[in-house]
């Protein structure tokens, strides 16, 4: 049995402390669940076999299974179960993978997947003391991004910051600051043009009572020259800046999956078939390179090769790691992120994988290409990839 993408939608992605800062994560999740239901009016929500939701932080308003909360808030019947998965940046792509397996094993005919993150609203946490009534100050730790409350038994080289890890990747592959800035400028320019062309109009639904209709982080005037003026963030002599890395972001995404037989109950035809999936892991500090082998394995499981691939959606956590992955694959770089990427659109951790799937499915339909790959790097040394097939092109 095969699984298919039937519908995909996301919120506009907001910048840290931006337009979506006042919206709770469970409400962001409910917004895209409601949008999916509105786009499939023939679907009885009670027919959904499961909800699988991605979320990376889970330390604040997204605690207690935010996928279940979002489903309930959106009016999904209480009889529909829900789970929240956490594979950090890959959480909603993992949700799609879990949901597609659920369909392919026959455990459900229809699965609603997606993910959410508000990096703005991620709380500060206080660790509980090792003994009662300690003397002295206690430090509140931000849960918005990266390592926190690190186990002292972890090797120090594993627990460097995400930025430092990617500076190490830059040294390993010799990817210049100039290439990174050019890649970042391309992301902004393509994302802006995509909105101007109307590409995202049916992939993005605004959040009620919020004045945000487009992704908040896009800077259409970005050029390699303007980005070259920004100072490195992680090393004084480094190459990574605020301009060639993805910003902290808020947002949610949803992807409706089903079997071929579910088409009548959903009331629409599939957009793409889930043809292959894979996860890959390596040293935690090398996480930015992990999509390389994840994509290679997913293609092998789909029974196709890179020469068959006509579109790639790769999450741009950092320009340097994106370039390292693209350089490792035997592909034309122009097929990667044709409609912009996370450097421009934003990277709300738990929502980004769903964005990749929705965008990839539409790009395949738009271009008439048959095979596409969605890939994402994940902190602590992991990567995920999914292969989609546009069966209209077969």
3-class secondary-structure state, position 374 = strand
d(CA 6, CA 27): 23
DSSP structure string for 217-277? T--TT--HHHHTTSPPSS-TT-S--SSSBPPPEEEEEEEEEE-GGGHHHHTS--SEEEEEE
Structure-token match 């003391």, residue found: 129
Query: Active site residue: 188, 192, 325, 347, which one?
Result: 347
Give yes or no: 347 in active site.
yes
Query: Active site residue: 89, 188, 192, 325, which one?
Result: 89
d(CA 2, CA 316): 29
For β-strands 124-125 and 110-118, DSSP reports them as unpaired
**Residue in 246, 248, 247, 230 with CA at minimum distance from that of residue 177:** 230
Taking each helix axis from N to C end, the angle separating 319-328 and 291-302, rounded to the nearest 10 degrees, works out to 40
N-term to C-term CA, the chain = 18
Give yes or no: 325 in active site.
no
- 255 strand-pairing partners: 8, 113
Annotated active-site positions, please?
Answer: 89, 347, 377
């Amino acid at each position: 049995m095969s699984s298919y993408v039937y519908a995909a939608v996301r919120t506009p992605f907001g910048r840290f402390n931006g337009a979506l800062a006042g919206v709770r994560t469970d409400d962001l999740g409910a917004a895209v669940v409601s949008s999916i239901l509105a786009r499939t009016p023939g679907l009885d929500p009670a027919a959904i076999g499961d909800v699988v939701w991605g979320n990376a932080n889970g330390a604040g308003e997204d605690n207690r299974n935010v996928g279940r909360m979002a489903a309930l808030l959106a009016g999904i019947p209480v009889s529909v179960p829900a789970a929240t998965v956490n594979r950090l940046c890959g959480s909603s792509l993992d949700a799609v993978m879990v949901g597609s397996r659920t369909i392919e094993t026959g455990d459900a005919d229809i699965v609603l997947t997606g993910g959410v993150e508000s990096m703005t609203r991620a709380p500060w946490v206080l660790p509980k003391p090792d003994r009662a009534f300690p003397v002295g100050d206690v430090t509140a730790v931000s849960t918005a991004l990266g390592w926190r409350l690190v186990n002292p038994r972890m090797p120090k080289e594993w627990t460097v910051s995400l930025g430092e890890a990617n500076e190490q990747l830059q040294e390993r592959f010799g990817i210049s600051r100039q290439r990174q800035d050019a890649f970042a400028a391309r992301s902004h320019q393509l994302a802006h043009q995509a909105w101007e062309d109307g590409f995202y109009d049916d992939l993005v639904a605004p959040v009620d009572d919020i004045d945000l209709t487009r992704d908040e982080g896009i800077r259409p005037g970005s050029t390699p020259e303007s980005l070259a003026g920004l100072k490195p963030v992680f090393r004084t002599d480094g190459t990574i800046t605020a301009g060639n890395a993805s910003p902290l972001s808020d947002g949610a995404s949803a992807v409706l999956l089903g079997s071929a037989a579910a088409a009548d109950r959903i009331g629409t035809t599939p957009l793409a078939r889930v043809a292959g999936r894979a996860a890959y892991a390596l040293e935690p500090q090398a996480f930015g390179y992990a999509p390389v082998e994840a994509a290679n394995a997913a293609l092998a499981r789909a029974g196709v090769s890179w020469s068959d691939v006509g579109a790639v959606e790769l999450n741009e956590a950092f320009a340097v790691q994106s370039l390292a992955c693209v350089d490792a694959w035997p592909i034309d770089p122009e097929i990667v992120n044709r409609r912009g990427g996370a450097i421009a659109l934003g990277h709300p951790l738990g929502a980004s994988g769903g964005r990749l799937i929705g965008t990839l499915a539409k790009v395949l339909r738009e271009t008439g290409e048959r095979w596409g790959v969605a890939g994402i790097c994940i902190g602590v040394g992991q990567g995920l990839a999914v292969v989609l097939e546009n069966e209209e092109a077969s």
